[in-house]
A = this chain, B = another copy of it.
């Protein structure tokens, strides 16, 4: 059975991290009224092991369809935030679990082009996954010593196909 794709929302994503979006934010009118601040939508948590927060850019290209999830990764030392810089919809695949992901909890969310996410430290997730030919992201994560990348490849026959139809491609 292909994995269904759910719309991304703060409540649905709560076990995995934060959704970075204007909707529902604490707002502050600043700069003599010429700007609104949507405050603290994500909290960067990278200090473990003397990590330091950094801002990077990612340029992603589309993987061949159909998308089969054969592995997940996680960052044991820090959170990782993604925000799209082109307004296409994109996908987020996550699972609960400890030393290994629990594939029974695998979920796929479709983000709008004006929604980002901040994976909480240690959350199993698939690498950046897009629906357009290419898409750039601003990324806030950790620099510093220590192993901050763990990968888990699924057992043979356990791969999960995403339920992406032709209309989903951007």
Q: Given that A44-B44, A83-B138, A143-B40 are contacting pairs, would A34 and B61 also be in contact in the complex, using a CB cutoff of 8 Å?
A: yes
Secondary structure call for the A interface: strand
Q: In the bound complex, what is the Cα–Cα distance between A63 and B33 (angstroms)?
A: 10
Q: Which of B25, B44, B60, B136 is close to A57, meaning CB atoms less than 8 Å apart?
A: B25
Q: Are A57 and B140 interface neighbours, CB within 8 A?
A: no
Q: In the bound complex, what is the Cα–Cα distance between A82 and B35 (angstroms)?
A: 13
Which residues of A in the span 1-48 have a Cβ within 8 Å of any Cβ on B?
20-22, 25, 30-32, 34-44, 46-47
Q: Are B52 and A35 interface neighbours, CB within 8 A?
A: no
Q: Are A56 and B41 interface neighbours, CB within 8 A?
A: yes
Chain B residues positioned under 8 Å from A42 (CB to CB): 54-55
Q: A20-B57, A34-B61, A85-B114 are in contact. List 4 more A-B contacts (CB 8 A).
A: A32-B127, A35-B60, A38-B56, A47-B47
CB distance from A118 to the nearest CB of B (A): 7
Q: Given that A35-B60, A44-B44, A60-B35 are contacting pairs, would A20 and B127 also be in contact in the complex, using a CB cutoff of 8 Å?
A: no
